[in-house]
Amino acid sequence: FRMLSFTSALTSLAADPEGHLLVVGSDAGCLHLVRAPGWRHAFVADTIRLSDAGVARVAVTFHDAGVGVLVVAALLFNNKIAFLRVHIEAEDPKLDMLGFVDVGGAIEDICFHRAEFEGDDAKLLAAGAADADGTSCVWLIAAPPIEYEAAVAELSRETCPVWSMKVDGSKKPENRISAVTSFSHDPREAVVVGFAGGALKSFPAPTSFGASAAKQAPAEAIEAFPPQGQLITRVVLSEDGRFLVSASMDGSVRRIPIEEGTKVPISHKLVHNPYNGGVAQVAVDPSGLLFLSTGGSDGAVVWSDPRDAVRPPAPGPEEDAVEVPGDQEELATSVDDKDTAAFPLWAPVDLADPDARAGEENDDPQLNAIAMAQRR
């Protein structure tokens, strides 16, 4: 294997469906695109600085629009959401920045919605508190069209329509939204929301056009799942829709069956120290039986319920090796993503300016040299 290290703290990561591309966010405001056809050949293919605010969460979804495109959303600590795309079938895939969306709220979590919703473009779920009155809300945001080219930093409502839903109007601390996921196997195209008090409920997908939910009545929950001990940190639906997985600050991870009609957790495992923040993130394999979780100083833990008798799959033969850039051939590669000279802040290119477009199409040799030196 190879070791990739960064000078900033890594806050979130997400992978393409095949696991060959990783999108990694950092508190320096950078997104890194890591190519990993096999970990002996993993390398940083591209880095882009989105903001000085830092990246809080990353989400990705695959969009097959004739050519394979990975749609990326990055939640920043200033509550703006950046949309990007990656043409994964390109010989040299890059992070293509499209712009920012601001729904006017303190966003806690994001997740791509799995269901079709008024069109073919990807839709992103965002959950948090509205700036106007502090009520708990869920927003549904349309990603920019695949062919969109960034001309301005802020994405308009015409480019990225927004739908909203008020979930709770009481403003009680325990009713603050902390996590969200798509629950689209439900015929009502539902979403599942986790709360600071440990509650876990499903709601219809947002359908009220516009980002403001101030005048809306709170939505009625479709159903309530058994609550967890403390704040819900993550909630994930398995790829086959059979299990709902929730994680909490109490250090536990639960697996709730969906298909059988019962909502009683069949697994409830204490994995991470509740006195050190509990579970920070959790991911589940397509079968819903193998988990990867992080929390506190525990690092990453791969585990399963002993009753399931499953083991991580044995590594298969690596695909044809992708040529690693000359500046990353060493066993360990370090990227100084705090260096703003090597990785300047993104700004849209003036599409009407031929010189600007030419500069975008032809890499700056001096900037490339600086980036290469920093990676060394």
Tens of pLDDT, residue by residue over 328-364, are 666 677 889 999 999 999 998 764 455 544 444 444 4
Give yes or no for a contact between 222 and 200, defined as CB atoms under 8 angstroms apart.
Answer: no
Place of tokens 């923040």: 277
Q: Order of strands across the sheet with 243-248? A: 232-237, 243-248, 252-257, 267-270
CA–CA separation, 367 and 75 (whole Å): 27
3-state secondary structure of 359: helix
Window from 131-140, 171-180, 183-192 with minimum mean pLDDT: 183-192
Q: Report residue 319's pLDDT band, with 50, 70 and 90 as the boundaries.
A: low
Average pLDDT over residues 99-123: 82
Structure tokens at 41: 């050949």
Average pLDDT over residues 76-97: 92
Q: Is the pTM here over 0.75, yes or no?
A: yes
Return the closest-CA partner of residue 74 out of 84, 65, 66.
84
pLDDT at 365: 44
3-state secondary structure of 242: coil
pLDDT at 372: 44
pLDDT digits (tens, 9 = 90+) for 1-23: 568 889 998 889 898 877 788 99
β 243-248/190-195 pair status: unpaired
Q: Enumerate helices (H) and strands (E) in the chain, giving the number of each.
A: 2, 26
Average pLDDT over residues 76-102: 93
CA–CA separation, 306 and 303 (whole Å): 9
**Alpha-helix residue ranges (DSSP H) falling in the chain:** 354-361, 365-375
Average pLDDT over residues 294-317: 76
CA–CA separation, 339 and 325 (whole Å): 20
